[in-house]
């Protein structure tokens, strides 16, 4: 039997990636670790982000004997992958904003990237644009408010549409035909984004690409025994979570939802 796949994010955003991985590898065991005590990551100092993620992810992977780690967070992936890979012997997969497919897909050559303020600032992101979209006009938008809105939605609260309309106004005014969702929280608001931006804006994220990368890396390992149910565990880092979030995580398929204990 192969160890579980550890999927990591600051909050519930990584579920947009986990959903794609589960679609590809439905019978594997999964552990979803989210560092909601330090959310939003887009506002953290770089050194704190790196040291905190490395400590958490290496310990969680050790405890569950993970076979592979997915950093399902663009903000963390722009910084922590080298440090994490130096500490771990299992594969570590990161998320990259879908700039390359967006540049290939766009008809108008005007594309947008909406991500956290951290991701929009990083040279990692600017290098991606220079490498794959230098022939396009690329507009970048940073927002942590959208991260909080996606969290609220997952906790069962209605999405504040007038506020969303306000946040997305600069995107509308830039007349992009493709918008890269460069934060894993944002696909969870995709319906609402389309309601505000209209069908003329294609939304792109990296979930499917990550899922095929994971499947490729685990090829030949064999799946879980399909006669027994696969295990789905969700670990958070705050002392507790709301009843709404807990209920939605259970509805998503997590049989176990509890606080991560780094000393266990
Ligand atoms: N989901 C994250 C990302 O993909 C980070 C959100 C945050 O905590 O700021 O960037």
pLDDT tens for each residue of 203-247:
999 999 999 999 999 987 765 555 566 899 999 999 999 999 999
Using the mean position of ligand 1's atoms as its centre, give its distance from the Cα of residue 176 in Å: 23
Give the span between the Cα atoms of 178 and 101, in whole angstroms: 10
Using the mean position of ligand 1's atoms as its centre, give its distance from the Cα of residue 45 in Å: 14
Give the span between the Cα atoms of 216 and 55, in whole angstroms: 27
Give the CA-trace dihedral at 16, 10, 191, 233, to 10 degrees.
Answer: 40
Domain boundaries, the chain: 5-95+208-259, 99-205
Give the span between the Cα atoms of 50 and 48, in whole angstroms: 6
According to the model, what pLDDT value does residue 3 have? 92
Known catalytic residues? 73, 183
According to the CATH classification, is domain 5-95+208-259 in 3.90.1300.10? no
CB 214 within 8 A of CB 221: no
Quick one: 209 exposed, middle or buried, by C-beta within 10 A (0-12, 13-18, 19+)?
Answer: middle
Q: Which atom of ligand 1 is nearest to the CA of 184?
A: 4
Q: Are 5-95+208-259 and 99-205 equal in CATH topology?
A: yes
Ligand 1, CB within 6 Å, residue ranges: 9-11, 13, 39-42, 73-75, 116, 119, 144, 147, 183-185
- Residues 110-167: tens digit of each pLDDT: 999 999 999 999 999 999 999 999 999 999 999 999 999 999 999 999 999 999 999 9
Looking at CATH, the fold of the domain delimited by 99-205 is given as: Rossmann fold (3.40.50)
pTM score, two decimals? Answer: 0.95
């Amino acid at each position: 039997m192969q160890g579980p796949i550890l999927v990591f994010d600051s909050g519930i955003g990584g579920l947009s990636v986990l959903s794609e991985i589960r679609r590809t590898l439905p019978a594997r065991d999964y552990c979803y670790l989210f560092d909601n005590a330090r959310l939003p990551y887009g506002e953290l100092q770089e050194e704190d982000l790196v040291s905190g993620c490395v400590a958490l992810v290496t310990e969680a992977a050790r405890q569950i004997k993970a076979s592979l780690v997915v950093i399902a967070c663009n903000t963390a992936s722009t910084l922590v992958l080298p440090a994490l890979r130096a500490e771990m012997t299992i594969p570590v997969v990161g998320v990259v904003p879908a700039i390359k497919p967006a540049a290939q897909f766009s008809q108008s050559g005007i594309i947008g990237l909406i991500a956290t303020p951290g991701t929009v600032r990083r040279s990692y992101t600017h290098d991606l644009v220079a490498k794959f979209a230098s022939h396009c006009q690329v507009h970048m938008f940073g927002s942590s408010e959208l991260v909080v809105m996606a969290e609220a939605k997952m906790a069962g609260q209605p999405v504040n549409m007038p506020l969303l309309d306000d946040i997305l106004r600069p995107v509308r005014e830039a007349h992009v035909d493709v918008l890269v969702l460069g934060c894993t929280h944002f696909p969870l608001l995709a319906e609402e984004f389309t309601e505000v931006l209209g069908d003329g804006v294609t939304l792109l994220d990296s979930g499917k690409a990550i899922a095929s990368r994971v499947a490729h890396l685990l090829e030949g390992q064999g799946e879980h025994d399909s006669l027994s149910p696969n295990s789905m565990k969700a670990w958070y880092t705050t002392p507790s979570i709301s009843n709404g979030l807990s209920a939605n995580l259970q509805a998503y398929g997590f049989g176990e939802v509890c606080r991560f204990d780094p000393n266990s």
